[in-house]
Amino acid sequence: MAVERGWRRVVVKLSGEALMGAGSHGLDAGTLETIAADLAEAARKGIETAVVVGGGNFFRGIAGAEKGIERARADSIGMLATVMNALAIEYAIEKQGRAARVLSAVPMPSICEPYSRQAALHHLDKGRVVVLAGGTGNPFFTTDTGAALRAAELSCDVILKATQVDGVYSADPKLDPNARRFESLTHDEAIAKNLAIMDTAAFALARENRIPIVVFSIKQPGAICAALEGRGKATLVLP
């Protein structure tokens, strides 16, 4: 169990693409409900749960830059996409009977709270699921780096990196049938091997703050609680 491992406060990193289901963009209602139920259940188990969500199901800053939008402006558009996802996740969690709050690094006080460490810690202490939007609030930083930053700020015990594959592989398993899955590795090994499951800045920030990372597939119902409890396939990245 997570409590047996000493994990009592966690950051779950969700990509925007994880919310699409089988679609090509946007939000899939069934997928959103399944993930929200899992997050709510983690909170019911006594785990203080924060969620950092991406925006790639609506807009990716890098992709926008490749299409001619200047990178800083494209990243700002991507931050707005994360807020849309966060509001949807907040409502889906509340429908599961669990309180949730969106805190955005880009202030939008008419629709959600501005992010502050004190506010996030207050909501976590009250047992609410905290959904963190807006990335770091700055361009040129990914939401992976945002997850590592928030985990360090909030003194989280672990980062749960929810992906489309069941761990960290030596190569893309969709392209290379000989790709090898790692059961565990260190932050230094992940950086040295250039394993692209998270960007280098995120790995480095987690390493400096000695925060382990669990990389797992979000495709199955209950995947978040399973990762917390050490069930199913996953890769554990240790300091």
CA distances for 194 relative to 169, 171, 189, 203, 204, angstroms: 11, 10, 8, 10, 12
Residue 15 DSSP code: -
Each residue of 97-142: pLDDT tens digit?
Answer: 999 999 999 999 999 999 999 999 999 999 999 999 999 999 999 9
CB atoms within 10 A of CB 221: 13
Q: Residue 74's pLDDT is what?
A: 93
Give the residue extent of every domain in the chain: 2-238
Type of residue at 206: A
CA distances for 21 relative to 34, 75, 132, 198, 239, angstroms: 10, 24, 21, 21, 33
**Domain made up of 2-238: CATH architecture:** 3-Layer(aba) Sandwich (3.40)
Q: Which of 166, 147, 184, 158 is nearest to 220 (CA)?
A: 166
* Chain mean pLDDT for the chain: 93
CA–CA separation, 217 and 27 (whole Å): 18
Q: Model-level pTM? A: 0.93
Each residue of 150-207: pLDDT tens digit?
Answer: 999 999 999 999 998 899 998 888 889 899 999 999 999 988 888 878 888 998 999 9
Question: What's the sign of the alpha-carbon dihedral 91, 95, 98, 99?
Answer: positive
pLDDT band at 62 (very low <50, low <70, confident <90, very high): confident
